[in-house]
Structure 1
Amino acid sequence: MTAPSLLAALAPRRIVVFRALQLGDMLCAVPALRALRDAAPDAHIALIGLPWAHAFVDRYADLVDELIVFPGAVGFPEQAESDDGLPAFFSQMRARRFDLAIQLHGSGGVANELLQQLGARANAGFLQPDEAHRHGCFIDWPDELPEPERYLALTSALGAPATDRRLSFPLTARDHDEFAELRAKHGIEVQRLVLIHPGAQLPSRRWPAERFAAVADGLAAAGWQIAITGTAAEAPLTCAVLGAMSAPALHLAGATSLGGLAALVAQAQLVVCNDTGISHIAAAMATASVVVASGSDTRRWAPLDHARHRVLADYPPCRPCMFRDCPYGHPCAMNISVEHVAETARDQLAQVAGAHPGTPGALHVCIDSPSFEELHHAT
């Protein structure tokens, strides 16, 4: 007779998940959170995450009930590395008497040490190769799997098998309204819209701005409407792309919320970007993309649909990269040519149903477009 899973044995009413990471990382955990919710539909599921994740919990309210802000700790570089807030944090967590604490943050080690301080009845997570056995449901870190599949391996071991392996990013009425306003203000023509997103959190993950500009110019010359996207903080970078272009383009850096950006991605014909959060949004929106992956572990982070999302990468000996700024001349980025990216972008656009370029070099050509109501209905 098969032994019951940990979830079945515990029947947990209070679950806490530790994953204090940025947007792209959180999107990759959505299938695992979905599987957990399906297996424990009545449980209260709390996320220990970064302060920005209030927006994540609001958007995924069907999967997560609460955000508990992680105060930061030594060994967790996503915030200031200080243990000063941990004693009060651990005291508060132990008082919550969670039935199950799940470590979805990473491969184990220091993250597991933190997990055990939460005082839950049972723990689950990953073990590094040299890490001693821990009580609970811990599996070896599945280094060979893509990022979303790693966390599904753990939820499956817990007794929560995958019900849907796809990424998702649910759009709200506010997101749709924001896109409608953006479209009206900037004259966005969705049938020929291509987004150029040159930003990434780390400089070592960025393809050069002038190369993005050259690709954008080539696509504009073929009749595609170019929009440059990014956060307000990335305006110097997006302006560098715009300034290096000879063709006109829409400059939308800082013009959208995260939800508005996702709605924009959903309507675009193609996204050209670095290996960063927007590549995961494109995967969630099923929008074709060309991803220049500099430094990152493409086996881990590349979208699973290799036809819809083309990842271009070079593999010098220093990859995967552990640096914020490359000390070696950035060969993984410099060895990806403008011609390669441009050709791949053209190939992707040729396969998108409903994509129609307009007059070469024109920012606005006023081709017949469906109404926003039709677009809203289609999404």
Structure 2
Amino acid sequence: MPAGVLADLLIALPALDALKRAYPAAAITLLGRDWHTRFLRNRPGPVHDVVPLPPISGVSSSVGGGAVPDEVYDDLRSRRFDVVVQMHGGGRDCNPFVRRLGARLTAGLCAPDAERLDRWIPYIDHQHETLRSLEVAGLVGAGTADVEPHLSVIREDWSELNRRLGRLPKGLVAIHPGAPDPRRRWPPECFAEVADRLGRPVVVTGTESERDVVERVAAAMKRPGHVVIDELSVGGLAALYAACDLVVSNESGPRHLAAATGTPTVGVYWCGDLISRGPLSRGMHRPLISWTIQCPACDGGSVGSLGCGHRSASWVAGVTVDDVLEQAQDLLR
């Protein structure tokens, strides 16, 4: 079932791997987006093929989207799926969609107001999303002891990286200062200080929507670094992170991407995000946690509330540079 953004796919990878190990002869089809097709093409892993869906409200799109076109149902039913597994949230919108695909068995998550599938577990807040997905895989007999995602970096990824950025210096550290929610962003000057004090070659990565924060980090650095903004595909970015000795990041898709390639990471997390999306092991991945539970700008807004309107105040600014640096240096030893 659909994985929308990068982190969603990577968080679900252990469950997809478990399904493939349990049913090695099965062909796993991911119902996703166009970028999944490009990213997963020729890449070793559990996914056999991808069916990109149009923007469908609550199914393949969290913002906007419309109803499911009849031709989409016709195409998916013609594939005669034996099992459809739903790992895409509580199922209010997804589960009716799943039920209409004509599979012999459906399994997945169900919020209290969601249509029930043949096999289901309740969708309850404050559970790690990887463990949640593994519970869903368990509904159809797939289990695993490996809870971290693993992603192969393929020849096309390395070729793109070499073509775009050329020869990279040894000892490279990547800084990714962006995050979809500005409240989850560590201050740019903190990232810059970490980069300077590590004393290593640094690349600062981001998307076009994060250009401002990326450039603020680069401007605050006393030592020169290389800026990479939307120059690479997801596969090329995976190769870049795989070539690094360390990635320092907010909670974001790129942190999950770096971890999946086997590169050590230091992540700055708000406490609620750590519960649901943090790394599950500590040997190579170190989260630093902010315990802020009220708006730092006014002390008025609480967790889950946007009433105060302070969307840009960082809820993770209390994490210290020294703490991040300590974990980074330990991983680089």
Which residue, 244, 267, 271 being the options, matches 2:247? 271
Q: After superposing the two structures, state which structure 1 stretch, 257-266 or 23-32, moved more.
A: 257-266
Distance 2:15 2:147 in 1: 8
Contact between 1:34 and 1:164, CA under 8 Å: does it hold in 2? no
In structure 1, give the amino acid aligned to 2:87.
Answer: L
Cα separation, partners in 2 of 1:320 and 1:65, compared to 1, 3 Å? farther
> Residue 132 of structure 2 aligns with which residue?
150
Cα separation, partners in 2 of 1:264 and 1:163, compared to 1, 3 Å? same
Contact between 1:295 and 1:320, CA under 8 Å: does it hold in 2? no
Shift of 1:105: 0.8
Contact between 1:296 and 1:321, CA under 8 Å: does it hold in 2? no
What is the total number of aligned residue pairs between the two structures? 325
> Residue 211 of structure 1 aligns with which residue?
190
In structure 2, give the amino acid aligned to 1:149.
Answer: L
Q: Deviations over 1:196-243 (max 9, x none)?
A: 111222323322223222222222xxx311211223553333222111
What TM-score results when the alignment is normalised by the length of structure 1?
Answer: 0.76
Cα separation, partners in 2 of 1:184 and 1:86, compared to 1, 3 Å? closer
Cα separation, partners in 2 of 1:345 and 1:132, compared to 1, 3 Å? closer
Q: Describe the SS at the equivalent of 1:66.
A: strand
Q: Describe the SS at the equivalent of 2:97.
A: helix
Shift of 1:183: 6.5
Distance 2:309 2:266 in 1: 22
* Structure 2 residues not aligned, in runs of 5+: 295-301
Contact between 1:73 and 1:80, CA under 8 Å: does it hold in 2? no
* Structure 1 residues not aligned, in runs of 5+: 1-17, 353-379
Distance 1:180 1:261 in 2: 11
Contact between 2:177 and 2:250, CA under 8 Å: does it hold in 1? yes
Q: Describe the SS at the equivalent of 2:64.
A: coil
Cα separation, partners in 2 of 1:160 and 1:333, compared to 1, 3 Å? same
Contact between 1:196 and 1:228, CA under 8 Å: does it hold in 2? yes
What TM-score results when the alignment is normalised by the length of structure 2?
Answer: 0.85
Q: Describe the SS at the equivalent of 1:297.
A: helix
> Residue 347 of structure 1 aligns with which residue?
330
Contact between 1:314 and 1:332, CA under 8 Å: does it hold in 2? yes
Q: Indicate yes or no: 2:216 matched with 1:240.
A: yes
Q: Deviations over 1:148-192 (max 9, x none)?
A: 22111121221122264331110112223344456645xx322x3
Contact between 2:149 and 2:260, CA under 8 Å: does it hold in 1? yes
CA-atom RMSD, angstroms? 2.8
> Residue 3 of structure 2 aligns with which residue?
20
Which residue, 103, 108, 117 being the options, matches 2:86? 103
> Residue 173 of structure 1 aligns with which residue?
155
> Residue 141 of structure 1 aligns with which residue?
123
Shift of 1:59: 5.0
Cα separation, partners in 2 of 1:196 and 1:300, compared to 1, 3 Å? same
1:1-379 aligned within 5 A: 18-58=1-41, 60=43, 62-75=45-58, 78=61, 80-128=63-111, 130-131=112-113, 134-141=116-123, 143=125, 145-162=127-144, 164-181=146-163, 184-185=166-167, 188-190=168-170, 192-219=171-198, 223-294=199-270, 297-317=273-293, 321=304, 327=310, 330-349=313-332, 352=333
Distance 1:112 1:257 in 2: 32
In structure 2, give the amino acid aligned to 1:262.
Answer: A
Cα separation, partners in 2 of 1:69 and 1:295, compared to 1, 3 Å? farther
Contact between 1:275 and 1:296, CA under 8 Å: does it hold in 2? no
Distance 2:264 2:72 in 1: 42
Shift of 1:321: 4.8
Shift of 1:275: 0.3
Q: Describe the SS at the equivalent of 1:291.
A: strand
Q: Describe the SS at the equivalent of 1:105.
A: coil
Q: Describe the SS at the equivalent of 1:81.
A: coil
Q: Deviations over 1:281-317 (max 9, x none)?
A: 2222332221112475211111111242111121233
Shift of 1:123: 0.8
Distance 1:116 1:317 in 2: 39
Q: Describe the SS at the equivalent of 1:306.
A: coil
